[in-house]
Structure 1
Amino acid sequence: MTQPRKRLVVLGLDGLPLGLAQSLADTRRLPNLARLLDLNATTIEAELPELSPVNWTSVITAAGPGRHGVFGFVGIDPATYTLGPVDAAAIRVPTLMDRLTRAGLTAKIVNLPCAAPVKPLHGAIIAGFPETDLARAVFPPELAQNLRLAGYAIEADTSRGAADFDALARGLRKTLASRRAALEMLWAGGDFDFFMLVATETDRLFHFFFPAVAHPEHALHGAVLDLLADWDRLIGLVLDRYEALPEPKRLIALADHGFTELVTEVDLNVWLARKGLLLTNPGAQNEWDARIAPHQTAAFALDPGRIYINIKERFARGVFHEHVAEKLARELRDELLPLTHEGAPVMEAVYLAEEIYQGPQLRRAPNLVCLARPGYSLTAKFNRAELFSRHGRTGCHSAHGALYCDTAAARPGTTTGAGREIAAYFDLPEPNEPAWISNAI
């Protein structure tokens, strides 16, 4: 007798904290969000640093950064000290899509951040931000043509930021319409075992208009709720489609990190430069134009809170041997922890890599990972002079309080744990992990 097909549906709601979700549901303007919160809502913690590439990769590999090797949006070449984007080619372990395909199962995925360049799989995938090219973002290739004809948008234009709510809202409505169209295309016929859709619109909205979302008295609060009503309809479409599936089935909804109102940005490269530990050559063209003077630099930071010691065994023009670097890392932690802004402490914790990461990619991890208190956004730019400043954003990520809902009432502690729930549901065996070498740190 043939066993009935069991399905798992994952709804990603980028950057959505449970507390804010509950407040929004209480407005009674978002009925489908309220439906979702009835599904055993709880919270999970983000892996550090609390960024989308780190955490969506942790979900989709069921592995932490020490195993999958993704520590941020940007990496640095250890030979030239130039910065460059980190994409899915940097993932050092098989993904759940790889494992599902090997098990003969069908996966269909819409708007998974940091998933390009995509690889062939049994099913279909549309990668999301930061990819802009559908040719790299979509498999199978014929799906890309269908999406082009439908006017599919991977990402909204956020260049105007908080200066133009109407422009941002138009862009987010377009991407929401794109997600709905892709859902209709890929769900048709129910030919899947695993279906995942990620809505990233909340993250974009929260970065630029968090006070308008969180405070009912804000002048734009009504307009924000109108926009979120479109987002709520997407949630409802997923829930309706899920409810129509036959048993056995399971639904998981989760965020990759939390969010909170911004107090100030804190630039760690400015802090290191003031300590005499980072020297850059003049003429930086933008915030990513590192221009590090390697022989004169003891340490540097990469967004958001990653500090690297310039180690001889790791970088082409390193300054210290590893045993000296370990001592310096501990000294830097001791100096960072008392850092204050207007009398308030900035740091919640500062971790040595080995305290939070395990696995073969530990050697590529930052020496220190800083976790700021809620409201303090750690940055690491190369063209700034102010330690504390604001640059158009009103909301920032939080490692705490990310939404997690599960019809099976599971309680994973982290985004990695959520990925393990997916793997366990399909009885996927643990993969062999080659200790691949990457050029990017």
Structure 2
Amino acid sequence: MPHSRKRLVVLGLDGLPLSLARALAASGRLPNLERLLAQNATGIEAELPELSPVNWTSFLTAANPGRHGVFGFVGIDPASYALGPIDATSIRVPTLMDRMTAAGRCAKIVNLPCAAPVKPLTGAIVAGFPETDLDRAAYPPQFAANLRLAGYRIEADTSRGAADFDFLARELRRTLASRRAALEMLWAGGDFDCFMLVLTETDRLFHFFFPAVAHPEHALHGAVLDLLADWDRVIGLVLDRYDALDGPKRLIALADHGFVELVTEVDLNAWLAQKGLLFTRPGAQNEWDARIAPHQTAAFGLDPGRIYINIKERFARGVFHEHVAEKLARELREELLTLSYEGVPVMEAVHLAEEIYEGPQLRRAPNLVCVGRPGMSLTAKYDREAIFGRHGRAGCHSPHDALYCDTAAARPATTTEAGREVAAYFDLPEQNEPAWISTAT
């Protein structure tokens, strides 16, 4: 039936660089990606650090990390120094879904990363990784029940990584089938103002098999294109359904960050330890088992390129007052900019927090945010001693060249600005920020 309401369809393509998308489209194997790129394709920049939680949250809130408060996958407790996962309860500002519900608009969302635990909204949602529990990931409850009956998979098993392409391909095809099933469930009737579907399969594939994707001469390139052809068919399903919509409408497709081939991982905690600035107790069980000795530690890192100074005003057993910490942060920046790997500088840039963030959550931001040169994957583990090495990955995130397509031909500069396009399209009023504040850093 005809609809007078205006609709927005958002297609998320996690980790897809514009340059790679164009090369893949030119292969002739991905006709729907080629259709998508015809919609005013351009590139946008990721917010820093160039991680999915930071950037999908920036899009989802139309706010930079200094306002929304999400700076990575994990945070550190300022009292115990224990690491813990960050989830949607860490978001400090209303989301676009909150604002749509307040404005009486209906949103239906499939596989939005870092959106759980979900809250009631006008519409329906199933969040994506890192959530594993459909009861926390889906709303309303009946939708969660229907997804469970359909065998819905929130995330692929990537435990075998680069060691088993066939296994990874099977897993990614299962999650693609899940996305398609959820799309079919929620699209029926067209009773939505905004529909959003995120496909995260590209990010998983690129982490382990980026060379096979990027290089036609690679032995697995044909198999990779076969997998991407299944991904392309889901894109085609979205485009066909968008084309069939009546009334005013707009399509936006975007990636949360770019991707490049890995040169080496660069562990900032190993670097800090070798500088005598980070001390940990022995016996770390895994990369997240921090065991920081806080009274002796001047600075520590969190993935992917965050460095925190152990400040008395911020941490229970801080070493420095803020004015001393500012001086140390600037000194560390100068030293990091001289770090090299096989004669090549590691860092593209090292930012002080106040240079890239603004807002009330600036006080919780890392003191330094490092950006590696292409292929330099910045990490901060707690079970490694070597600064450089490869640990099963073949591709790494980049803050540059993230894909953005828009039937309205807008050209936002960042993922945050892409979110503002959504807010402006629906003329969503601003909402007051919550009074509660998180204690996690």
TM-score (norm 1): 0.99
The question of 1:175 aligning with 2:170 is answered no
Paired residue for 2:319?
Answer: 319
Paired residue for 2:21?
Answer: 21
> Separation in 1 of the partners of 2:421 and 2:97?
14
Paired residue for 1:43?
Answer: 43
Deviation, structure 1 residue 429: 1.2
> Separation in 1 of the partners of 2:182 and 2:80?
41
Divergent runs of 4+, >6 A:
none
Paired residue for 2:279?
Answer: 279
> Separation in 1 of the partners of 2:431 and 2:317?
36
The question of 1:65 aligning with 2:43 is answered no
Paired residue for 1:359?
Answer: 359
Deviation, structure 1 residue 129: 0.4
Paired residue for 1:149?
Answer: 149
Deviation, structure 1 residue 436: 3.3
Paired residue for 2:204?
Answer: 204
> Separation in 2 of the partners of 1:412 and 1:436?
31
Deviation, structure 1 residue 435: 5.3
Q: How many residues align?
A: 440
Deviation, structure 1 residue 130: 0.4
On the 8 A contact 1:105/1:192 being kept in 2, the answer is yes
Identity within the alignment, %: 83
Deviation, structure 1 residue 434: 3.6
> Separation in 1 of the partners of 2:111 and 2:253?
15
SS at match of 1:396: strand
On the 8 A contact 1:132/1:155 being kept in 2, the answer is yes
TM-score (norm 2): 0.99
User: What is the one-letter code of the residue matched to 1:19?
Assistant: S
What RMSD over aligned residues (CA atoms) do the two structures have, in Å?
0.9
> Separation in 1 of the partners of 2:341 and 2:429?
48
Q: What aligned pairs does 1:274-423 form with structure 2 within 5 A after superposition?
A: 274-423=274-423
User: What is the one-letter code of the residue matched to 1:305?
Assistant: G
SS at match of 1:308: strand
Deviation, structure 1 residue 424: 0.1
Paired residue for 2:7?
Answer: 7
User: What is the one-letter code of the residue matched to 1:336?
Assistant: L
On the 8 A contact 1:337/1:349 being kept in 2, the answer is yes
SS at match of 2:75: strand
User: What is the one-letter code of the residue matched to 1:209?
Assistant: F
SS at match of 1:269: helix
Paired residue for 2:261?
Answer: 261
User: What is the one-letter code of the residue matched to 1:396?
Assistant: C
Q: Cα deviation per residue 1:143-198 (whole Å; 9 max; x = unaligned)?
A: 11100111100000000000000000000000000000000000000000000000
On the 8 A contact 1:124/1:186 being kept in 2, the answer is yes
> Separation in 1 of the partners of 2:105 and 2:435?
26
User: What is the one-letter code of the residue matched to 1:49?
Assistant: P
Deviation, structure 1 residue 247: 2.1
User: What is the one-letter code of the residue matched to 1:92?
Assistant: R
* Structure 1: runs of 5 or more not aligned: none
User: What is the one-letter code of the residue matched to 1:159?
Assistant: S
SS at match of 1:413: coil
SS at match of 1:296: coil
User: What is the one-letter code of the residue matched to 1:406?
Assistant: D
> Separation in 1 of the partners of 2:176 and 2:264?
30
Q: What aligned pairs does 1:114-263 form with structure 2 within 5 A after superposition?
A: 114-263=114-263
On the 8 A contact 2:3/2:246 being kept in 1, the answer is no
> Separation in 1 of the partners of 2:430 and 2:300?
36
On the 8 A contact 1:29/1:229 being kept in 2, the answer is yes
User: What is the one-letter code of the residue matched to 2:388?
Assistant: F
Deviation, structure 1 residue 111: 0.0
User: What is the one-letter code of the residue matched to 1:251?
Assistant: L
SS at match of 1:417: helix
Paired residue for 2:77?
Answer: 77
> Separation in 2 of the partners of 1:437 and 1:110?
28
SS at match of 1:392: coil
SS at match of 1:374: coil
> Separation in 1 of the partners of 2:184 and 2:419?
25
> Separation in 1 of the partners of 2:168 and 2:177?
14
User: What is the one-letter code of the residue matched to 2:155?
Assistant: E
Deviation, structure 1 residue 52: 0.1
Deviation, structure 1 residue 3: 8.9
User: What is the one-letter code of the residue matched to 1:350?
Assistant: V
> Separation in 2 of the partners of 1:343 and 1:417?
37
Flag the 1:135–1:368 CA change in 2: closer, same or farther, 3 A. Answer: same
User: What is the one-letter code of the residue matched to 2:193?
Assistant: D
On the 8 A contact 2:268/2:378 being kept in 1, the answer is yes
On the 8 A contact 2:110/2:196 being kept in 1, the answer is yes
Deviation, structure 1 residue 437: 1.7
> Separation in 1 of the partners of 2:435 and 2:280?
33
User: What is the one-letter code of the residue matched to 1:214?
Assistant: A
On the 8 A contact 1:134/1:144 being kept in 2, the answer is yes
> Separation in 2 of the partners of 1:437 and 1:339?
37
> Separation in 1 of the partners of 2:50 and 2:141?
32
> Separation in 2 of the partners of 1:264 and 1:270?
14
SS at match of 2:189: helix
> Separation in 2 of the partners of 1:374 and 1:137?
34
> Separation in 2 of the partners of 1:439 and 1:430?
25
> Separation in 2 of the partners of 1:425 and 1:4?
15
On the 8 A contact 1:360/1:435 being kept in 2, the answer is no
